[in-house]
């Protein structure tokens, strides 16, 4: 019988395979940063106004609210869920915050009201999902309708303005050339990064998103973690509501927060977080938010119709999901 010989790969083949593996690893780990750099360069070539310092600071200012909401959405999606109620909860938080502030004359009471309302809305979502065993899509869809309805009823379908001096300074003051909302967004990104990547809670969230049954069998209190996830996300929505209400010194019960859930989900998916949970990074969401901000800014600079901007965001989500499936 002829002997069977095993041919070892040549050095050239080994080098080619190693290089391919490195490129695949580089893309899987840093694809969102690479995409950010490419989009930034293209945007700077398409419009000379893009690189203007004032424009760059405006981009950071405009993404700060969605950025804070996106941090909470990332935690939820890492756990395998989704939250469609963030925009409506933001409007409700804003309305009740202004009402509490105007009634008491105290900014502190207004801020406490915001935190309580947002966290409670998130807590209710968590209870419905964890204890009621309702799919996150359905539970948060119900919260979206309910929160918006309460906001409209409370404000008689209109806007409500703050009568307390100093409240608008939260969003409209600067540290040097940087507005406070940008600083708040960066600080919260760092804190959430530490929470998700350096603590037991973060490890539990990743475990639940990867395999909920395995997490339960390993002793993780899945229900408690889920309730904590949605409560924390609601608290982050409260922070975003405070910034938006302070920036305008008023809140609209009908238009504030509209489609914020779309922007937040888009930023999280662009940042590399899987819809099925268990995989993703906070830093990815940070760059995903910046990419979304640059795209919005470029569409405005190029006078793209606002009616088409939603189409572009939807297309970006689909493309991002397609790339995720190929990894």
Look at residue 122 in the predicted model and tell me its pLDDT: 97
pLDDT at 177: 87
Which has the closest alpha carbon to 187: 281, 107, 71, 29? 71
Residue 1's pLDDT is 46
d(CA 137, CA 145): 12
Per the listing, tokens 């939260």 go with 170
Averaged pLDDT, 195-204: 95
Q: Does the pLDDT of residue 22 top 80, yes or no?
A: no
Query: Nearest CA to 150 among 104, 88, 198?
Result: 88
Q: pLDDT averaged over the chain?
A: 89
pLDDT digits (tens, 9 = 90+) for 274-290: 888 888 999 999 999 99
pLDDT at 271 over 60: yes
Give 35-45 pLDDT, tens digit per residue.
889 889 988 98
Residue 27: pLDDT over 70: no
Q: Provide the pairing of β-strand 174-175 with 178-179.
A: antiparallel
Model pLDDT for residues 155-166, shown as the tens digit of each residue:
999 999 998 988
Residue 255 has pLDDT above 60, yes or no: yes
Q: Where are the domains of the chain?
A: 52-326
Considering the chain, what percentage of its residues have pLDDT values greater than 90? 65
- pLDDT greater than 80 at residue 16: no
Residue 11 has pLDDT above 50, yes or no: yes
pLDDT above 80 for 99 = yes
59-84 pLDDT per residue, tens: 999 999 999 999 999 999 999 999 99
**Binning pLDDT at 50, 70 and 90, where does residue 299 land?**
confident
Q: Assign domain 52-326 to its CATH architecture.
A: Orthogonal Bundle (1.10)
């Amino acid at each position: 019988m002829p002997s069977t010989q095993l041919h070892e790969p040549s050095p050239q083949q080994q080098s080619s395979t190693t290089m391919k593996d490195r490129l695949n690893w580089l893309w899987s780990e840093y694809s969102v940063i690479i995409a950010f750099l490419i989009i930034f360069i293209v945007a700077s070539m398409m419009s000379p106004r893009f690189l203007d310092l004032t424009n760059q600071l405006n981009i950071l200012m405009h993404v700060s609210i969605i950025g804070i909401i996106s941090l909470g959405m990332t935690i939820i999606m890492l756990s395998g869920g989704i939250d469609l109620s963030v925009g409506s909860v933001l409007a409700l938080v804003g309305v009740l915050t202004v009402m509490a502030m105007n009634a008491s004359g105290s900014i502190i009471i207004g801020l406490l009201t915001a935190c309580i309302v947002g966290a409670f809305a998130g807590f209710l979502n968590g209870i419905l999902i964890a204890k009621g065993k309702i799919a996150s899509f359905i539970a948060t869809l119900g919260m979206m309708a309910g929160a918006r309805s309460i906001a409209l009823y409370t404000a008689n379908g209109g806007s409500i303005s703050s009568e307390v001096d100093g409240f608008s300074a939260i969003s409209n003051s600067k540290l040097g050339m940087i507005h406070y909302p940008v600083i708040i967004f960066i600080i919260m990104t760092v804190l959430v990064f530490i929470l998700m990547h350096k603590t037991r809670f973060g490890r539990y969230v990743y475990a639940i998103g990867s395999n909920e049954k395995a997490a339960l069998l390993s002793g993780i209190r899945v229900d408690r973690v889920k309730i904590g996830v949605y409560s924390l996300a609601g608290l982050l929505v409260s922070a975003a509501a405070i910034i938006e209400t302070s920036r305008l010194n008023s809140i609209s019960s009908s238009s504030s927060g509209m489609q914020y859930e779309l922007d937040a989900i888009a930023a999280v998916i662009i940042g590399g977080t899987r819809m099925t949970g268990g995989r993703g990074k906070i830093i990815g969401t940070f760059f995903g938010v910046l990419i979304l901000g640059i795209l919005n800014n470029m569409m405005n600079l190029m006078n793209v119709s606002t009616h088409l901007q939603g189409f572009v965001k939807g297309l970006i989500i689909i493309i991002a999901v397609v790339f995720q499936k190929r990894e």
